[in-house]
Amino acid sequence: MFQNHRRMSAKNNNPPNPAPAAPGRRDSLDKLAHWLLVFLGAAVLLMIPFKVAGTGYLPGDDALRHAAFAVDNRAWSEVLVLNPALDPAMDSHPGWHAMLRLARKAFYLNQDGLVMLSFTLTLAGFMLAGLAASRAPLAWIVTGAIMLVIEPGLYSRLLLGRPFAVSMTVLVVLLFLWSRPEKRTLRKDAPLTFLLLTVSVVMHPTVWYLWSVPILALWLAGRRRQALLTAACVPCAMLAAALLLRDWYDIFVFPLFLITNSVDASPIVATNLVTEFQPAVSPVFSIALVAAILAVRKLRGGSLSGELRQADFLTAIIGWLLGLAYGRFLFDWGLPALMVWLCRQLAFVDRLALREKGIAGAVGLAALYLGLGADLGGRYSQNLKTVLTRPVGEFQDALPDPGGILYSSDMTAFYSLYYRLPRDHNFRYILGYESGMMPVEDLRTLRAIQTTNGALAEHEPWFAKMSPADRILITALNKPEKEGFEFARFFNYWIGRKLPPPPAAPGAPAAPPGRRDKSRHRKRRELAALHN
C-alpha cells in the first residue's frame, strides 16, 4: 500500500515529458537555422579580408602589377623590354584588368584600393561560392576550419589577390555540381558549365589548358558524357571570351608562348622559377586525414571503391601527383578538390540538432576569423618594412633616366617599383612578371645569373649594353666593383649606373667619329700629352 502511494506521489511530482516538436515546426526551425548560418557565415567571410587589410597587408607579387597596370594607361611593351616575337599590345589578363579599371572608375580607387579589392574578391569569393554551392553551409565552414589546420597555405594563396583564384572558384562550383545525387542531364548542365568556364577564361586565360585535369578525373570516374561535355565547353568558352574581349591573341596564342618559354629543364634554374613551376611538397597532413577517413569508413563496413567514381576525389589525387612536378596542379586544382571532398564527408553536421549545429558553426567561424586574421610572424605587416611604403622621393632619383632600362634579375624589384610608380616613370624593366617574355639574349643572361647564384661576372652582357640612362640592380653583401660604373646602396640591393666617358685631355687629337683607337700604346700617349 505504501509502495503504491510512493509511486503515485512520484508520478504526480514529476512533470510530464514534453511532446516532440511537430515535423512541420522542426523543418521550419531547420530552415531558419540554415539561412541564419548562411548569412552569418557570409558576413564573417567578408569581414576577414578587411581585418587582414587593417594590418597593412599587401601581396608580394602579381596583384601589385595588376593594380598598377589598371592605373597605368600604357601597353606592356612600354613598361617591359619584351621578346620581339610577342605582340607589343599583348595583355596576359585582359578581363581581370578590365574589371579593375571599371572598379577604379566607379569607386575612384588608386592602386592600394585595387589591391585590397583584389584579395577581397579572391578570398571571400572562393569561400562564398563554396558556401552557396555546397548546399551544406555548416559542413563547408567546418571544412574551412580544418583546412586552416592542415593546409594553411591554401588561404595564403587565396590572399594573393590574383585571378587564378577565379579558376579555383569555378572548379569548386563545378565539382559540387557534379557530385549532386540527383540525376543530371547534359541539357541541364551545359549552359552553367559553359558560363562558368567562360568566366574562368575571361579572368584567367593563361591556363585554359589545365582544365584537362578535372576532365580527366571525370573520364576516370566513368562520367564519360560529362567529361566530353566539359571538354567541348572549354574551346567554346575560349571563343566566347575572345569575342567578349575582342582579343584573340591573348586568349589563344599568348598562353602557349608563355608556357613554352617560361619552364626550364635545368634543375638549378628551376629553383628560381615562380612557385607554380616548382615541385610542391606533398600535403602530409591532408593525406593522413584522407587515409583516416577512408579507414573509418572501411571499418564501419563502407565501400571505398565508390570514391574512385567521384570527380572531386580523383581531381585531388591527380592534382597531388602532378603537383610533385609542378606545384600549380596541387595548389589550384588538388587542394580545392580536396576541400569539396571533405565537405561531402562532413555533410552530416548539417543534420545535427540546433544546439550542436550552433556550437559547431560558432567554433568554425571563430576559427576562420581569428586564424586568418592573425598576423602570425608578421606575415601581413612585413611589407611595411619595404620600398612599398617608403616615400617615393627617397628613391626616385636613383632610378633610370627617361628612356632608360632597369636591369635586374629579381622580379621583386619590378613588382615593388612599378606598383609605387605606375605613371610617374618613363623607363622600362628588363625583367617583369614572367622571365619567358624577355628577349632571348637577355633571358640567356638571366639564366646564367641564376645558375651562378648572382655572380657579378655573369652580368657582363648587361654591363656591355647599358647606357648612362640605364641602371642595374645587383643583390650582394659587399659593394660591387666594376670599372666604368658607380654603385650605391638601394634598400636591399646595390644600384649601379654607367659613368660618362672622361673628357678628352687638352691638346690630345680627337678620335675620328665612329672609330676607336685600338693602339696598345694609347694610354702612354695620353700620359705624354698631359706631361707636355
Summarised one tens digit per residue, pLDDT across range 130-141 is 999 999 999 999
59-63, 70-74, 392-396: least confident range: 392-396
The pLDDT of residue 298 is 87
3-state secondary structure of 369: helix
The answer to whether residue 495 scores a pLDDT higher than 90 is yes
C-alpha cell at 182: 540527383
Distance between CA 171 and CA 214 in Å, rounded?
Answer: 8
The pLDDT of residue 273 is 67
Query: Mean pLDDT over residues 203-224, rounded?
Result: 95
Sort strands 493-498 and 485-490 into parallel, antiparallel or unpaired: antiparallel
The answer to whether residue 124 scores a pLDDT higher than 80 is yes
Going by C-alpha positions, the residue among 367, 366, 368, 356 that lies closest to residue 30 is: 356
Where does the pLDDT of residue 348 fall: very low under 50, low under 70, confident under 90, or very high at 90 and above? very high
Sheet hosting strand 405-407, strand order edge to edge: 428-429, 405-407, 471-474, 493-498, 485-490
Distance between CA 334 and CA 327 in Å, rounded?
Answer: 10
139-143, 145-149, 305-309: least confident range: 305-309
User: Under a CB-based contact definition with an 8 Å cutoff, are residues 338 and 290 in contact?
Assistant: yes
Among 121-125, 258-262, 424-428, which range has the highest average pLDDT? 121-125
User: Under a CB-based contact definition with an 8 Å cutoff, are residues 204 and 244 in contact?
Assistant: no
Return the percentage of the chain with pLDDT > 90, whole number: 68
The answer to whether residue 475 scores a pLDDT higher than 70 is yes
Chain centroid to CA 151: how far?
Answer: 15
CA atoms within 13 A on the CB side of 482: 25
At which residue does the C-alpha cell 578581363 appear?
95
The pLDDT of residue 184 is 66
Give me the chain's average pLDDT, please. 87
The pLDDT of residue 5 is 46
Q: Which amino acid is at 49?
A: P
Q: Assign 3-state DSSP to the chain and report helix, strand, coil percentages, each to 5.
A: 65, 5, 30
More confidently predicted of 126 and 390: 126
User: Under a CB-based contact definition with an 8 Å cutoff, are residues 304 and 319 in contact?
Assistant: no
Determine the Cα angle at 378 with ends 376 and 382, to 5°.
150
Q: Is the pTM of this model over 0.85?
A: yes
Q: What are phi and psi of 91, to 5 degrees?
A: -145, 120
Distance between CA 480 and CA 499 in Å, rounded?
Answer: 15
Distance between CA 203 and CA 162 in Å, rounded?
Answer: 10
Query: Mean pLDDT over residues 485-496, rounded?
Result: 93
User: Under a CB-based contact definition with an 8 Å cutoff, are residues 487 and 494 in contact?
Assistant: yes
C-alpha radius of gyration, the chain, whole number: 30
1-10, 52-61, 80-89, 474-483: least confident range: 1-10
Query: Mean pLDDT over residues 281-310, rounded?
Result: 89
At which residue does the C-alpha cell 545525387 appear?
181
Indicate the angle between helix axes 164-178 and 111-133, nearest 10 degrees: 10
Sort strands 405-407 and 471-474 into parallel, antiparallel or unpaired: parallel
